[in-house]
Structure 1
Amino acid sequence: MTYEEHIQSELLRWQKKILRPPGLLEKGSKAIQSKVNELYPKKFFDTLTVTIKGLVRGVLFGLEYMPKGKPIKNADLMERDQKALELLKNYKRVAAAEGAGTGAGGIILGIADFPALIAIKMKFLFELAHIYGYSTESYKERLYLLFVFQLAFSSQEKRPGVFHKLVHWDETVKDYPELKAMELFDWEQFQVEYRDAIDLRKMLQMLPGIGAVVGAVANYGLLEDLGHVGMNCYRLRILQEKGLIQMD
């Protein structure tokens, strides 16, 4: 079995996981989420919502996040995956260190962790795109990153819809012309899903004494999740372009 054939098998298993209906655990977590949300002051959610929308939009069009150099060309999938894993390893360390630092500061620095972590995640995705040969100078590639981010932090109920858009990217991007893309994107769903995805893991980061440990572990895990989804999205895209895999 070739490496690409091995990845095809992995991607088909991943597809089944993405498309499965939400189970009792996922359904029950929504009820728990509502209780968790009551623990936070309203100001916290207002700040988080504005931060997510403003920062993500800013990052997508910010030149400071553009990777240096050109996207990698003439590399096989195994080489790209190896570079991606090394990149992810480095970013998990950065995220963990950032989470430990802000977690040690209680509520105030805990709130400050959210924009910092979003920036780390988006910068990781920019560099990941270049590893797999896609230039983030194109608005279409930046929009693709946005949907990858959304897939990584969506609930099981919403994931199939986002996954479908990524699988059929050439058709999806036609619905988001450059001058209207950011207005047409569903920011409300993006913000709610991201907030709910991180709340359960990040809640304890606000507590003095254990915040540093929780912050480091939570951020490490969140980057791990994003890395797994990001790599699979680009693997799938490359194999689709080669005509080696087809998904509904």
Structure 2
Amino acid sequence: MDGIESREYLESQLETILKWEKEQKDIFLWEKIGRIPFMLLDRLTPKIVRDNVGEALNEIGSFIQSGGKYLVRKKSVMFVLAGTAARGAEGLKDSLEAETAGSGKEEGTVNDRHEHDSEEMLTLDEASKLPIHVMDAAADGITTKRVKFAAAQGAATGIGGIFTIAADIPLVLGQSLKVLQEMALCYGYDPDNPRERVFIVKCLQFSSADIVGKKAVLEELAVFDDVEKSDQVFSQLQGWREVVQSYTDSFGMKKLFQLIPIAGIIFGSISNKGTIGDVAETGKMLYKKRRINQRLRETDIPL
């Protein structure tokens, strides 16, 4: 699995990511305006609703410390990676279908099935050495699956308009954390590691930030793997509440029409689909960039 990609291939992939980063450093005027009614809504929201959202924020804070209930099963993602590496697109499809079929079962049963069906159950270290195109394929397959689930959830919570949106926001935040962990695993990084949970929160922050915010996050993450220079990133962990609150506020226009009962079914589906898609893309690109940079460093290629 080692030394598969050429220097030219890695550099071309890195160039694609840098182009994507440049495109992200923008925010349309309507998005800024769209946050205004949502912030006003927050002031008018009944106390019980605001309390529910506050509890969700506290739970997400615990994710940073211990992972809490948001940690994903590594073996599920390793199973998808193994299938993709062994049999390409067909293996990816089969492993995703098997993972879906087992998602409602007990974890031990699912893991046993994975170990039985997989030609080779990968370790995290082995996964980190897979070709980039295998990692990309697995990440894209998982993203497609998570986006479909988010769309269905948004439709369900859009039925009651303003009365069910309070339940929708914590659910979307939880899904965002989970899909970012899956992106981490696809590129060989361990979300059980507190260090990676900091990176995940930074990805969450990036996905909802404006131009200035995105630039600041990219500057922080540029030195994330430099132990001597990464202290500042970890020190900002204390600001996780602001990160999550900013993410909640950023729904803005996306959630505005979901406040309308019944019509919220359509808008809720579209909103959640876009939100999870954006978060997954952010995780994929930023984790892929780390993996490519690491491989370039390992081959002593100046960046």
2:63 pairs with 1:6:
no
Aligned position for 2:271? 218
Q: What does the per-residue CA deviation read over 1:26-46, in whole Å, with 9 as the maximum and x for residues that have no partner?
A: 4x6435533443244144784
Where 2:74 maps in the other structure, the secondary structure is coil
Q: Quote how far apart the aligned CAs of 1:212 are.
A: 0.6
Where 2:250 maps in the other structure, the secondary structure is helix
Q: Quote how far apart the aligned CAs of 1:232 are.
A: 0.8
Which whole-Å CA distance do the structure 2 matches of 1:91 and 1:246 have between them? 37
Which whole-Å CA distance do the structure 1 matches of 2:275 and 2:247 have between them? 11
- Within-5 A mapping of 1:163-242: 163-171=218-226, 173-175=230-232, 184-242=237-295
Q: What does the per-residue CA deviation read over 1:83-111, in whole Å, with 9 as the maximum and x for residues that have no partner?
A: 00000000001111110101012222111
Of 48, 54, 65, which aligns to 2:58? 54
Pair 243,43 (structure 1): closer, same or farther in 2 beyond 3 Å: farther
AA in 2 matched with 1:228:
E
Q: Quote how far apart the aligned CAs of 1:163 are.
A: 1.2
Which whole-Å CA distance do the structure 2 matches of 1:78 and 1:3 have between them? 10
AA in 2 matched with 1:161:
A
Which whole-Å CA distance do the structure 2 matches of 1:246 and 1:11 have between them? 17
User: Are the counterparts in 1 of residues 61 and 240 from structure 2 also a CA contact under 8 Å?
Assistant: no
Which whole-Å CA distance do the structure 2 matches of 1:191 and 1:74 have between them? 33
Structure label with greater radius of gyration: 2
User: Are the counterparts in 1 of residues 36 and 252 from structure 2 also a CA contact under 8 Å?
Assistant: no
Where 1:92 maps in the other structure, the secondary structure is helix
Q: Quote how far apart the aligned CAs of 1:63 are.
A: 5.3
Gaps of 5+ in 1: none
AA in 1 matched with 2:286:
C
Pair 153,176 (structure 1): closer, same or farther in 2 beyond 3 Å: closer
Which whole-Å CA distance do the structure 1 matches of 2:245 and 2:71 have between them? 25
Pair 35,122 (structure 1): closer, same or farther in 2 beyond 3 Å: closer
User: Are the counterparts in 2 of residues 151 and 159 from structure 1 also a CA contact under 8 Å?
Assistant: yes
Where 1:136 maps in the other structure, the secondary structure is coil
Where 2:177 maps in the other structure, the secondary structure is helix
Q: Quote how far apart the aligned CAs of 1:59 are.
A: 3.3
Where 1:137 maps in the other structure, the secondary structure is coil
Pair 198,48 (structure 1): closer, same or farther in 2 beyond 3 Å: farther
Of 195, 199, 220, which aligns to 1:140? 195
2:131 pairs with 1:125:
no
User: Are the counterparts in 1 of residues 157 and 165 from structure 2 also a CA contact under 8 Å?
Assistant: yes
Q: Quote how far apart the aligned CAs of 1:225 are.
A: 0.8
Of 26, 30, 33, which aligns to 2:32? 30
Which whole-Å CA distance do the structure 1 matches of 2:51 and 2:35 have between them? 18
Q: Quote how far apart the aligned CAs of 1:80 are.
A: 0.0
Which whole-Å CA distance do the structure 1 matches of 2:150 and 2:144 have between them? 10
After TM superposition, the score normalised by the length of structure 2 is: 0.70
Gaps of 5+ in 2: 1-5, 76-122
Where 1:169 maps in the other structure, the secondary structure is coil
Where 1:93 maps in the other structure, the secondary structure is helix
Q: Quote how far apart the aligned CAs of 1:116 are.
A: 0.9
Where 2:225 maps in the other structure, the secondary structure is helix
AA in 2 matched with 1:38:
L
